[in-house]
Amino acid sequence: MADEKSVKKTIRVGSRASRLAVIQSEIVMRQIEAACPDVKAELVTMKTTGDRILDRTLDQIGGKGLFVKELDEALRAGEVDVTVHSLKDLPGVIPKDLPLAAFSHREDPRDVLVLPMGKTDVDLSLPVGTSSLRRSLQIKELMPGVTTAPVRGNVETRLRKLDEGQYSALVLAAAGLKRLGLGDRISRYFSPEEMIPAACQGVLGIQTRAGADSALIERINDNDARRCALAERAYVKAIGADCGSPDTAFAQISGDQIMIMALRYDAERQTVLKDSICGPASDAEVLGKELADRMIKNER
């Protein structure tokens, strides 16, 4: 008969079924098991609506919420104990009954340029693949003469389309490529000053049910990543950005200070506005909102 003390508690971790999502969830699972040796993490995968519809851009099919709907339902039903998300894929408003319990250490947040295998330059006769207006606006500023075209599918699918000659290059997140072991495909890193990343890019968010004991999950929380993510989300929410909006913010912490840089797209004038703010890291969310308010005022 097994010793009761030797029986580990199981935590069921809900994840999208894509390879990248599974890898990201496994990162969190390892962190949980390392922080809590008496716990075993078990992976539960599911396909979301956003994973199934690949012929349209996100703003055409309902936004980022399509990547979390099924996971939210499983969490509410008690089919899983926590869910793991790329935080940049979560909608701006988090349901009160499914709070964010922890934030992972941030992987490289930068955007990168990926060229076809064997190529060393961007072919201006072909479009750069990106379904993000944020990336499209900034790549056109950085590389005059380029055109862009939407590209959907997981990272591997996008790379296949690139290598088949459908695109001259792709703009992707460094974090995803590195987690997939595809860092060698990166041709150029864009600094945050050159291309402000998507809010929360590189951060994983872990959700639980309201009222559940989240003390175990909180053990793996990275406080710097949390403050940066909350600042960036506060900006995006205050600026009124939706799924199709290019508006974004990126925060960095140095000591007890936080610096937030932001992008605001003036659709009427078709101009890209950038600004930044610095202050105590403890005021991260307040500063994010303050920067958004300032950008809105400057627009008038």
In a domain, 20, yes or no: yes
Residue 195 resides in a domain: no
Work out the number of other CB atoms within 10 angstroms of the CB of residue 192.
15
Same domain? 178 vs 161: yes
- Count structural domains, the chain: 3
Phi (first) and psi of residue 77, to 5 degrees: -80, -5
Q: Tell me if 151 is assigned to some domain.
A: yes
Q: Which of these is catalytic: 16, 64, 72, 89? A: 89
3 plus 132 within the same structural domain:
no
pLDDT computed for residue 60 by the predictor: 46
Q: Is residue 197 part of a domain?
A: no
Q: For residues 152 and 50, what is the distance between their CA atoms, to the nearest angstrom?
A: 10
89 belongs to the catalytic site = yes
| 123/98 same-domain check | no
Domain-located, residue 75: yes
Same-domain check for residues 146 and 207: no
- Position 61 scores a pLDDT of 45
Do residue 100 and residue 207 come from a single domain?
yes
Is residue 200 flagged as an active site residue? no
Q: Which of 16, 64, 88, 110 is catalytic?
A: 88
User: CATH number for the domain including 259?
Assistant: 3.30.160.40
Do 157 and 256 lie in one domain? The reply is no
Q: Active-site residue 243, yes or no? A: yes
Residues 99 and 143 grouped into a single domain: no
HSE (side-chain half, CA atoms, 13 Å) at 243 = 16
Four-CA torsion 6, 11, 17, 23, nearest 10 degrees: -70
Q: Are residues 90 and 5 in the same domain?
A: yes
In angstroms, rounded to a whole number, what is the distance separating the alpha carbons of residues 256 and 245? Answer: 31
**63: alpha, beta or left, given left = phi > 0 and alpha = psi -120 to 50?**
left
Q: What is the pLDDT of residue 49?
A: 64
**Are 71 and 46 within 8 A, CB to CB?**
yes
Q: Are residues 208 and 232 in the same domain?
A: no
Active site residue 56: no
Residue 96 domain-assigned (yes or no) = yes
- Known active-site residue 158: yes
Task: Give residue 246's Cα distance to chain centre.
Answer: 14
pLDDT in tens, the chain (300 residues): 445 456 789 999 999 999 999 999 999 999 999 999 999 999 999 976 655 554 544 454 444 556 688 899 999 999 999 999 999 988 888 999 999 999 999 999 999 999 999 999 999 999 999 999 999 999 999 999 999 999 988 999 999 999 999 999 999 999 999 999 999 999 999 999 999 999 999 999 999 999 988 888 999 999 999 999 999 999 999 998 877 789 999 999 999 999 999 999 988 778 889 999 999 999 999 999 999 999 998 876
- Catalytic residue list contains 179: no
pTM of the model: 0.89
- 136 with 151, same domain? yes
The active-site residue out of 51, 219, 243, 294 is 243
List the catalytic residue out of 106, 134, 179, 209.
134
Task: Give the count of beta carbons closer than 10 Å to the beta carbon of residue 299.
Answer: 13
CA-based nearest residue to 13, from 99, 80, 86: 80
What tokens appear for 245 in the block?
């909006």
Per DSSP, 256 falls in state: T
Q: Domain for residue 198, yes or no?
A: no
Predicted pLDDT of residue 1: 41
pLDDT given at position 271: 86
* Confidence (pLDDT) at 89: 87
Task: State residue 242's pLDDT score.
Answer: 78
pLDDT score at 230: 97
Give the 3-state DSSP-derived string for 110-174, with helices as H, strands as E and coil as C. Answer: CEEEECCCCCCCCCCCCCEECCCHHHHHHHHHHCCCCCEECCCCCHHHHHHHHHCCCCCEEEEEH
Nearest alpha carbon to residue 146 among 169, 163, 165: 169
72 included as an active-site residue: no
Residue 53's pLDDT is what? Answer: 52
Q: Which of 12, 119, 140, 152 does the annotation list as catalytic? A: 152
Residues 210, 176, single domain; the answer is: no
pLDDT at 68: 85
CATH code of the domain containing 25: 3.40.190.10
Q: Indicate which residue of 16, 106, 110, 135 is catalytic.
A: 135
- Asked if residue 10 is part of any domain, the answer here is yes
Same domain (yes/no): 230, 286: yes
Range of the domain at 119: 111-190
